[in-house]
Structure 1
Amino acid sequence: MENRALAKTKDEETIVGHTEELIKNYELLKRYYPDIKNLDWSLLKLACIYHDMGKLNTKFQNKLMSKLNYSLLKDELEDINEIPHGYLSPAFLDLENIQDKYDLDGLKILCQSIFYHHNREKSDNPDNIKKTIKEDLSKYINEFSYERIGKVTKLNTKYWKYVKRRLPNQEIEDDEEEEKRRSITNRKFIMTKGLLNKIDYAASSGVPIEYGNDELEERTYEFFNNMKSEPNKLQKFMKENRDNSVIAIASTGIGKTEGALLWIGNNKGFFTLPLRVSLNAIYDRLKDKIKFNNDKLGLLHSESATEYMKRSEGYIDKDHLDETKQLSKALTVCTLDQLLDFVFKCEGFELKLATLSYSKLVIDEIQMYSSDMLAYLLAALKEITNMGGKFAIVTATFPPVLKSFMEYLGIDYKEAEEPFLKENKNGQIFERHRMKVLDEKINIEHIKHNYKNKRILVIVNTVKEAQRLYDELLEENISNVNIFHSKYIKRDRSKIEKKILEAGEVINGIPKNSSQTIWITTQIVEASLDIDFDVLYTELSDLSGLFQRMGRVYRNRELDDTTNVYVYTGGNSAPSGITKSKKSIIDYDIYSASREAIEKFGDGEIKEIDKMNLINKYFTYERLGNSNFYRDVKEKINYINNLKCFEVQKSEVKLRDILTVTIIPKLVFEENFESINENIRLYSLDDSSYSERIKSRDYILSYTVAIPQYEYEFACSKGLIFDTLKIGKFEEIKVVSFPYDEKGLQKPKNEDANDIECLFV
Structure 2
Amino acid sequence: MELLAKSNPELSLKEHIDDCLNIQKQLHQLIPNIPVGREDFWDLLSISMICHDLGKAHPEFQKKLKNENNNWWFQRHELLSLPFVWSLTLTPEQKNYISFSIAGHHKDLDKLFGFVSKCYQPKIDFGDDSDGRLNFAEEFEKIDFQKVSNLLDQYPIEISQSQTIKTSINVYDLVKQYKRQSVDLNSYSDDFFIKLLLVGATKQCDHLASAGIKTLNSLDPCDFDYLSDLKSPYLHQIGCLGINGNAILNAPTGSGKTEAAFFWLKNQMDCYGQGRVFYILPFTASINAMFERLNQKIDATPEKVGMVHGKLEEYLEQKFSEDYENPEMDETKRKQLTEEFKTLVTPVKIVTPFQLLKYFFGIKGFEKGLFELTGSYLIFDEIHAYDPRVFAQIIVLLRFVTQKLNAKVLVMTATLPTFMRIQIENAIGDHTFLQAEDSLYDSFNRHRVKLMTGRLRCHLKLIQEKLDVGKKVLVVCNTVAESQYVYKNLKSENKVLIHGSFNSEDRFEKEKQLKEEKTMLLVGTQAIEVSLDIDFDVIFSEPAPLDALIQRFGRINRKREKGICECFVFTERNKNDSFIYPEEEIIRTLDVLKKIELDQDGLIREKELQEMMDFVYPSWNEKEQKIFEDTICILEDFVLNELSPLKYTPESEDQYYEQFKGVKVLPIACSKKYRQYLENNQFVKANGLLIQITEPRFVGMIKNNDIERDYFSYEVKGKETVKDKFVYVIKRRYDPELGLLINEEEYGGKDNIGL
Q: Structure 1 length as normaliser, TM-score?
A: 0.80
My pick for the range that moved more, 382-391 or 398-407, is 398-407
Match of 1:41 in 2: 42
Quick check: 1:303 aligned with 2:312? Answer: yes
Among 128, 132, 138, which residue is 2:121 paired with? 128
Match of 1:758 in 2: none
Letter in 1 for 2:113: S
Letter in 1 for 2:415: T
Instruction: Mark the CA change 1:716 to 1:34 in structure 2 (over 3 Å): closer, same or farther.
Output: closer
Match of 1:341 in 2: 358
Q: Structure 1: how far apart are the matches of 2:6 and 2:495? A: 61
Shift of 1:251: 1.0
Q: How does 1:303-702 map to 2 (within 5 A)?
A: 303-304=312-313, 305-306=316-317, 307-314=319-326, 315=329, 317=333, 318-385=335-402, 386-406=404-424, 410-419=427-436, 423=440, 429-438=443-452, 440-445=454-459, 448=462, 450-451=465-466, 452-453=468-469, 454-470=471-487, 473=489, 483-502=497-516, 505=517, 517-557=520-560, 560=563, 564-570=566-572, 574-575=573-574, 578-579=577-578, 584-603=579-598, 604-620=602-618, 623-624=619-620, 626-643=621-638, 644-645=642-643, 646=647, 648-649=649-650, 652=654, 654=656, 657-669=659-671, 673=672, 676-683=674-681, 696-701=682-687
Q: Structure 2: how far apart are the matches of 1:171 and 1:420? A: 52
Instruction: Mark the CA change 1:719 to 1:462 in structure 2 (over 3 Å): closer, same or farther.
Output: same
- 2:105 match: secondary structure: coil
Shift of 1:152: 3.9
Instruction: Mark the CA change 1:211 to 1:497 in structure 2 (over 3 Å): closer, same or farther.
Output: closer
Instruction: Mark the CA change 1:134 to 1:698 in structure 2 (over 3 Å): closer, same or farther.
Output: closer
Match of 2:719 in 1: none
Match of 1:290 in 2: 298
Letter in 2 for 1:288: Q
Match of 1:19 in 2: 17
Among 255, 268, 280, which residue is 2:288 paired with? 280
Shift of 1:479: 8.3
Q: Is the 8 A contact 1:274 1:335 kept in 2?
A: yes
- 1:444 match: secondary structure: helix
- 1:186 match: secondary structure: helix
CA shift digits 1:685-733 (9 cap, x unpaired): xxxxxxxxxxx33544554433223333333223234654356647543
Q: Structure 1: how far apart are the matches of 2:102 and 2:685? A: 43
Shift of 1:203: 1.5
Instruction: Mark the CA change 1:725 to 1:363 in structure 2 (over 3 Å): closer, same or farther.
Output: farther
Letter in 2 for 1:303: L
Quick check: 1:164 aligned with 2:177? Answer: yes
Shift of 1:365: 1.6
Letter in 2 for 1:397: T
Q: Structure 2 length as normaliser, TM-score?
A: 0.80
Q: Structure 1: how far apart are the matches of 2:203 and 2:439? A: 45
Q: Is the 8 A contact 1:587 1:629 kept in 2?
A: no
Q: Structure 1: how far apart are the matches of 2:67 and 2:460? A: 79
- 1:199 match: secondary structure: helix
CA shift digits 1:313-338 (9 cap, x unpaired): 44454544333222221222333333
Among 216, 225, 228, which residue is 1:224 paired with? 228
Q: How does 1:257-272 map to 2 (within 5 A)?
A: 257-265=258-266, 267=274, 268-272=276-280
Q: Structure 2: how far apart are the matches of 1:310 and 1:37? A: 44
CA shift digits 1:619-639 (9 cap, x unpaired): 23xx32x43333223322222
Instruction: Mark the CA change 1:712 to 1:395 in structure 2 (over 3 Å): closer, same or farther.
Output: same
Letter in 1 for 2:407: G
Shift of 1:354: 0.9
Shift of 1:412: 2.0
Match of 2:53 in 1: 52
- 1:397 match: secondary structure: coil
Q: Structure 2: how far apart are the matches of 1:411 and 1:735? A: 46
- 2:428 match: secondary structure: coil
- 1:288 match: secondary structure: helix
Match of 2:751 in 1: none
Q: Is the 8 A contact 2:499 2:527 kept in 1?
A: yes
My pick for the range that moved more, 722-731 or 134-143, is 722-731
Among 670, 679, 693, which residue is 1:707 paired with? 693
Q: How does 1:70-81 map to 2 (within 5 A)?
A: 70=68, 72=70
CA shift digits 1:104-148 (9 cap, x unpaired): 4x5543332222222322516567365344222034253332223
Instruction: Mark the CA change 1:485 to 1:139 in structure 2 (over 3 Å): closer, same or farther.
Output: closer
Instruction: Mark the CA change 1:94 to 1:725 in structure 2 (over 3 Å): closer, same or farther.
Output: closer
Instruction: Mark the CA change 1:309 to 1:261 in structure 2 (over 3 Å): closer, same or farther.
Output: farther
Q: Structure 2: how far apart are the matches of 1:214 and 1:595? A: 49
Match of 2:27 in 1: 29
Instruction: Mark the CA change 1:292 to 1:393 in structure 2 (over 3 Å): closer, same or farther.
Output: farther
Instruction: Mark the CA change 1:421 to 1:348 in structure 2 (over 3 Å): closer, same or farther.
Output: farther
CA shift digits 1:491-546 (9 cap, x unpaired): 333343344454xx4xxxxxx77xxx544321111123222222212123222111
Instruction: Mark the CA change 1:70 to 1:618 in structure 2 (over 3 Å): closer, same or farther.
Output: same
Letter in 1 for 2:312: E
Shift of 1:71: 5.1
Q: Structure 1: how far apart are the matches of 2:564 and 2:258? A: 31
Match of 1:690 in 2: none
Q: Structure 1: how far apart are the matches of 2:257 and 2:208? A: 33
Quick check: 1:197 aligned with 2:242? Answer: no
Letter in 2 for 1:609: K
Letter in 1 for 2:224: T
Match of 1:244 in 2: 245
Q: Is the 8 A contact 1:363 1:392 kept in 2?
A: yes
Q: Is the 8 A contact 2:732 2:740 kept in 1?
A: yes
Match of 1:234 in 2: 236
Q: Structure 1: how far apart are the matches of 2:295 and 2:494? A: 36
- 1:285 match: secondary structure: helix
Q: Structure 1: how far apart are the matches of 2:241 and 2:701? A: 53
Q: Structure 2: how far apart are the matches of 1:704 and 1:346? A: 26
Instruction: Mark the CA change 1:259 to 1:294 in structure 2 (over 3 Å): closer, same or farther.
Output: farther
% same residue: 23
Q: Is the 8 A contact 1:360 1:391 kept in 2?
A: yes
- 2:102 match: secondary structure: helix
